[in-house]
């Protein structure tokens, strides 16, 4: 059970030890961080469905019989006044069930995975990206879909909305001078003049695979994520 529900979130503005490590961060509205109990598995009543500025999904404020309150990840079928559904082990679910919040995955707005099979102590789940991954059959999961599925369809009304979120303006590399970016320089709207796009520091960008080949979880991936089709 989480003892504290909220606390003031300190803004770092994309800096580590005073040096900028992530560009285009800074400013933004003050916000409170909500402590989410992702492993909450008690009988409780839903008191409210709330907006969380720190994540894309909505959160639910629940209260158990002892009166203790906690924040949990809200699903699309949660309603105020009802009891939350308990988390179940993957081995106890039927094949084809829609699930979320499994092994630290599937927690963003509108996300849901499909339980495809259970064999040899592992469950095969199809992630929203199309990747099929093995997870231990005794892992707990929530049934349903993460709340706020229309998150990706929302459009910003004005540039100030990004500033409220702590995102500063971004300038295209091709609009910079040659000394400031590998894509810069030239007369007018010139092409980048390179075989492949690069970052401001000269490293490959846009399509370069960044996943480590020696990552421990690679052995649990049965099928890699699907590539986006060019429209």
Confidence of residue 1 (pLDDT cuts 50, 70, 90): very low
- Print burial letters for 50-73: b (CB count within 10 Å at least 16), e (below 16): eebeebbbbbbbbeeeeeeebbbb
Averaged pLDDT score across all residues of the chain:
91
Confidence of residue 2 (pLDDT cuts 50, 70, 90): very low
pTM across the whole model: 0.84
Q: In this predicted model, what pLDDT tens digit does every residue of 192-216 receive, in sequence order?
A: 999 999 999 999 998 888 888 899 9
Q: In this predicted model, what pLDDT tens digit does every residue of 160-196 receive, in sequence order?
A: 999 999 999 999 999 999 999 999 999 989 999 999 9
Mean pLDDT of 6-14: 88
Instruction: Judge contact between 62 and 37, C-beta under 8 A.
Output: no
pLDDT reported for residue 210: 85
In whole angstroms, give the CA distance from residue 127 to residue 14.
30
Q: Tell me if residue 46 falls in helix, strand or coil.
A: strand
pLDDT reported for residue 230: 52
Instruction: Judge contact between 182 and 200, C-beta under 8 A.
Output: yes
Q: What domains lie within the chain, and their CATH numbers? A: 6-10+28-85 (2.40.50.140), 88-127+135-147 (2.30.30.30), 175-224 (4.10.950.10)
Give just the sign of the alpha carbon dihedral 227, 228, 229, 230.
Answer: negative
Indicate whether 132 pLDDT > 80.
yes
pLDDT reported for residue 225: 83
């Amino acid at each position: 059970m989480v003892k504290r529900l909220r606390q003031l979130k300190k803004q770092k503005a994309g800096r580590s030890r005073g040096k900028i490590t992530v560009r285009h961060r800074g400013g933004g509205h003050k916000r409170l961080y909500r402590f989410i109990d992702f492993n909450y598995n008690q009988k409780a009543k839903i008191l409210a469905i709330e907006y969380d500025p720190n994540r894309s999904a909505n959160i639910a404020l629940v209260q158990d019989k002892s009166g203790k309150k906690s924040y949990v990840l809200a699903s699309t079928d949660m309603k105020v006044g009802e009891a939350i559904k308990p988390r179940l082990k993957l081995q106890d679910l039927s094949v084809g069930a829609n699930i979320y919040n499994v092994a630290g995955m599937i927690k963003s707005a509108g996300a849901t995975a499909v339980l495809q099979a259970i064999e040899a102590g592992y469950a095969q789940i199809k992630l929203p990206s199309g990747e099929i991954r093995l997870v231990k059959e005794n892992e707990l999961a929530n049934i349903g879909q993460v709340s706020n599925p229309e998150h990706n369809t929302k459009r910003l009304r004005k540039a100030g909305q990004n500033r409220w979120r702590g995102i500063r303006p971004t300038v295209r590399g091709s609009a910079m001078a040659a000394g400031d970016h590998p894509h810069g320089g030239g007369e007018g709207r010139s092409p980048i003049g390179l075989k492949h796009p690069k970052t401001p520091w000269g490293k490959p960008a846009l399509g370069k695979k960044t996943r480590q080949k020696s990552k421990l979880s690679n052995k649990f991936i049965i099928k890699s994520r699907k590539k986006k089709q060019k429209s």
